[in-house]
Structure formats: structure tokens, C-alpha cells
Amino acid sequence: MAFLLIRYLELGDQGLKIFLAAISGLIAGGIIGITTDYFTSIDKTPVLKITEASKTGAAINILSGFSYGLLSILPPIIGVCAATLISFNLSGVYGVSISAVGMLSIVGMIISTDAYGPIVDNAKGIAEQSGLGEEVVKIVDKLDAAGNTSKAITKGFAIGAAALTVLSIFAAYAELVEIESLNLMNPDVMVGLFLGAMAPPFLSGLLILGVQKNAARMIEEVRRQFREIPGLMEGKAKPDYAKCVDIATEGALKELALPCFLSIAFPLIVGFLLGKYALGGFLGGSIVSGIVFALLMSNAGGAWDNAKKCIEAGNFGGKGSEAHKAAVIGDTVGDPFKDTAGPTINTLITVMSLVLGSLSLC
């Protein structure tokens, strides 16, 4: 209310429009949060359906989770589109920027909520490794399930805010290079759109492939330790934890190098080889496919994880059942979705848009 009063006293009706643009972004963020909560909470229909699907095997579990991930895209996209149209009609491109600021106005709460997930996840690991008993583990499991949902919600906020921010950068680019509109009949624009739409899934594929390679290295190391360390299988000896940590850390840094390089190189290559119209189309395509894939991966991964926790709570046979084995496989597929590829896409499109903005100044 203080912001509304100050804006109105300073700018009159225009100040009111700026305030409404900020509110539209905040509402869009709320839509993203509510949708994510529905599709990833342990007591909501999608997760319960995925849990039930686990009774018939891992393949059905994965199909169910992926399907609900696709369905979860609709409300957030509508929210972002509505916020964009409302804020633009109120205050033009500046209104779109203010809409992004409105969505990020609760960034303090979002960051603290995002930190909650890893905290309770580590607490669960400590409880299990310390042998604190089933009752303690059950309590921490519930907290961990809530942490999965909270992480998915905060990722959704970040994705939506990145989309609105990049739209503002896109408008600034168009003004700087004097592009009034992007005509889809222009082959340069169409080529740029296709290349931009290709970038997020391509780089996501590289990241998930990196997870697969590192997981294979880790499995080989664990097998080696079981073979070569006497008494390890019986629990009489300690494993070499440091070696496993080194493999994970070094592998992660190595596998990030190529995607980071390509996120900078793609807009440079398109801009210098195909020109400003193709570059504008490239950014547009990356925004559209990026937000879709980011929401899909984040929500599907969270749903798979909580479906596993639902079974571990004693449903459909509990731990050790065939349904639990299927859910574990689904969760294993979902981890690189929600923890690797999904969160990096909003960073990817932001980096590419900043490179594009720098090109427009050259």
C-alpha cells in the first residue's frame, strides 16, 4: 500500500498503472506457486496417481510422472502470458520489467524457502546414518517431502521471473538494433526461432548426459571399493568417502564446461552469421522452449520424488515392495530433471539474453 500511495502521489494515474503492473507479476508468481504445490505435494492427486501407477512397474511410473509434468505447464504459462499482456498494456515495456520486479518482490521469502529443502534433506541423511530409529526417520521424511515441494515452487518463481526479465531485454534489444517487428515470413527470423527453441533442450541433454557419465563412474568406484577393501561388504571397514566426493566434484565441473561455453557461443554465432533478425528470433525461441522445459523437468522431478516418499510412508506395500522399487527408479530419473537440467534453463536463457544485449551495443 505504501508503494501504491507513493507512486500515485508522484505520477498520478501512471503511478497506479505501474503498481498494477507489479501486482500482475506477483499474481503470476502466485499462480506458479499454487500450480507447483498441486502437482508436487505428497497429498495431492498427481503424486497419489503416480504412486498408484508404481504398482504396475517403473515404466508406468515414469510415464505417469512425465505426463503430469507436461500438464503442469499450462497454468504457469497462462499466468506469465496474462502478466505480460496486462503489464504491457498498462505501461509498455517498462511495465513488463516492473511485472518481473513484482514477481521478485518476495525474493527474500523465496530464497529462505529454497534453503529449507537442502537443510531437511541433509537432516534426513544424518538421521538415517546415525541410526536414530524409524520414528525419527518418518518425521524427517515428512519434512523432506515438504522440502521437495518448496524447492519446486521456488524454481517455478525463478523460471517465471527469468521469462519476464528476458522479455524486457528482448524489447530493449529490438529498440537498440531498430527492429520494429519480427516477421515470421522472414526466413532469417524462422531460422533463428528454430535454433533458439533447440538450445534449451540440447544443453539440457548435455547436462543429463553428464549426470549419467558421473553416475557410471561412481558405480564403478563403489564396486571397486567393495572388491578391494577387506570387510567393507560386512560393515567392518570404512569406505573411501573422499574418492567418491572427488569423482562427483571433478566430474560435475568438467561436464559443465561445454554447456557454459555453448550458452555464450550460440547467440554470438547466430548474430554474426545470420544477422539481427535471426538473433531476435533466436532469443524468442529460447524463451518459449526454455520456460516449457524448465517447468516440465522441475515439476515432474518433484512429483517422482514425493511419489517415492509416499510409498515409503507405508502406502502400497511400503519400503521393499515392488511399487517402491518402481518409485525409486522414477525418482532416479527425476533427480537430474529437477536438480540439474530444470534449474539451469532459466540461467541459460538469462545468460544468452545478456550476451545478445551486449551484441546489440557493438
Grid cell at residue 126: 544424518
Confidence of residue 61 (pLDDT cuts 50, 70, 90): very high
Does the structure show a pLDDT above 70 at 191?
yes
Check residues 169 and 48 and name the one with the higher pLDDT.
48
Nearest to 163 by CA among 260, 83, 71, 264: 83
User: How confident is the model at residue 65, as a pLDDT?
Assistant: 93
SS3 content of the chain, % helix, strand, coil (to 5): 90, 0, 10
| HSE, side-chain direction, 13 A CA sphere, residue 351 | 17
Confidence of residue 1 (pLDDT cuts 50, 70, 90): low
User: How confident is the model at residue 33, as a pLDDT?
Assistant: 85
CA-based angle 139:140:142, to the nearest 5?
Answer: 70
Q: How far apart are CA 309 and CA 1, in angstroms?
A: 42
Does the structure show a pLDDT above 80 at 362?
no
User: How confident is the model at residue 4, as a pLDDT?
Assistant: 58
Does the structure show a pLDDT above 70 at 301?
yes
Mean per-residue pLDDT, 114-118: 78
pTM: 0.85
User: How confident is the model at residue 113, as a pLDDT?
Assistant: 77
**Secondary structure of 180-238 in the HEC alphabet?**
CCCCCCCHHHHHHHHHHHHHHHHHHHHHHHHHHHHHHHHHHHHHHHHHHCCCCCCCCCC
Mean pLDDT of the chain, nearest integer? 84
The tens digit of pLDDT for each residue in 219-273 reads 999 898 888 888 878 777 888 888 888 988 988 889 888 988 998 899 889 888 9
Confidence of residue 62 (pLDDT cuts 50, 70, 90): very high
Residues 6 or more apart whose Cβ sits within 8 Å of residue 128: 137
CB distance 40 to 47 below 8 Å: yes
CB distance 286 to 196 below 8 Å: yes
User: How confident is the model at residue 25, as a pLDDT?
Assistant: 86
CB distance 330 to 300 below 8 Å: no
Residues 6 or more apart whose Cβ sits within 8 Å of residue 114: 150, 151, 154, 155
Confidence of residue 10 (pLDDT cuts 50, 70, 90): low
For residue 228, give Cα distances in angstroms to 98, 238, 351: 60, 12, 45
The tens digit of pLDDT for each residue in 154-188 reads 877 878 877 777 777 777 777 777 777 777 788 88
Q: How far apart are CA 254 and CA 259, in angstroms?
A: 10
Say if residue 256 is exposed, middle or buried (CB neighbours under 10 Å; 0-12, 13-18, 19+). middle
Say if residue 344 is exposed, middle or buried (CB neighbours under 10 Å; 0-12, 13-18, 19+). buried
The tens digit of pLDDT for each residue in 345-356 reads 888 888 887 777
